[in-house]
Amino acid sequence: MQGYIVKRILIAAFTVFTVLTVVFFVFRLGPADPVMVMLPPNATPQDAENLTKKFGLDKPLMVQYGNYLKNAFRGDFGSSFRFDEPALRVLLMRFPATLKLGLVTFILSVTVGLSIGLISAVKPDSIIDRIGRLFALAGMSLPSFWVGIMLILFFGVTLRWLPIAGRGTPLHYIMPAFCMSLYPIALITRLSRSSMLDALKSDYVVMARIKGVPEFYVILVHAFKNASIPVITVIFGIFGALMVGSAVVVEYIFSWPGIGRLVMESFFARDYPVVQVFVIVVTCMVVTLNLIVDIIYAYIDPRIRYQ
């Protein structure tokens, strides 16, 4: 078990390192010269040269890469062009807003998705199953930017029940969280339903019933434990990635002051250090979530633990 965890951590560290490297080269492959982006249009060539020297851009690429890695390990990812502050700090300042919205979305998605999925599997073709399936189909296919705009139009503009932008009160969370959780709910509902259906059909469930195990215990202990493995992958593994993707869109629509909106603004302003640090932080988040999934796997499944 310990060997397994150490191995996973090493793999995770290697993944982060690879992403750091890819990010460095991709941003330098781009056609835009960062110095030209930063300088005002009337700057002299001398200014450009000074700035190039200041950022160490005159040095060979491999030396730049070495310095970049060294700084990265100290948490220094350069300064934001727009705010003249360390890019990481700019990002982390906006992070709590995203995290709070993310947590609300996470709890909403997991509780709603799992409950509908499990009830649907236990009682297939019941009313909850039918409604759940319809909702899951809608959640999978409706794009969040469209849903967001429609929500604003209906609940914000027409009915005036909910605030359409910003954050502050719990009411502010309702629309963005609903909008963001639509897809994860659909995904979790479908996956937990199908893996639970499979588990309930299996021989070990029949065997448990043969032994006279009560039905709730059959469902929760025998079937659900087996069904939970693919569901956990989705809940944690894909969640990190999903969250970031829809956070960018949803935060933009609802003017939510989180990192999703920050990265869009930075992108348009060509504030590359912030975009770069965003990619790296997101990577670390996804890698960490996957590491948690791996450890949960080992906890649930003895076949992984005893490898």
* Interface contacts to another protein, rule CB under 8 A: 124-125, 201-204, 206-215, 217, 221-222, 225-226, 300-303, 306
Q: Between residues 14 and 299, which has the closer beta carbon with respect to another protein?
A: 299
Q: Between residues 70 and 225, which has the closer beta carbon with respect to another protein?
A: 225
CB of 303 to another protein, least distance (A): 5
Q: Between residues 70 and 209, which has the closer beta carbon with respect to another protein?
A: 209
CB of 121 to another protein, least distance (A): 12
Contacts for 29-36: CB closer than 8 Å, 24+ residues apart: 32/270, 34/81, 34/272
Helix 272-300 crosses helix 87-122 at what angle (to 10 degrees)? Answer: 40
Residue 261 in contact with residue 251, Cβ under 8 Å?
Answer: yes
Q: Between residues 251 and 294, which has the closer beta carbon with respect to another protein?
A: 294
CB of 307 to another protein, least distance (A): 11
Please tell me what DSSP assigns to residue 79.
B
CB of 12 to another protein, least distance (A): 25
Q: Between residues 88 and 293, which has the closer beta carbon with respect to another protein?
A: 293
CB of 214 to another protein, least distance (A): 6
**H-assigned helices in 143-271:** 144-151, 171-201, 203-210, 215-217, 224-232, 239-253, 259-268
- Measured CA to CA, the distance from residue 166 to residue 188 in angstroms comes to 28
Please tell me what DSSP assigns to residue 237.
I
Tell me if residue 184 falls in helix, strand or coil. helix
**Gyration radius (Cα) of the chain, Å:** 24
Residue that the structure tokens 């609802």 belong to: 254
Residue 151 in contact with residue 178, Cβ under 8 Å?
Answer: yes
Q: Between residues 31 and 302, which has the closer beta carbon with respect to another protein?
A: 302
CB of 6 to another protein, least distance (A): 22
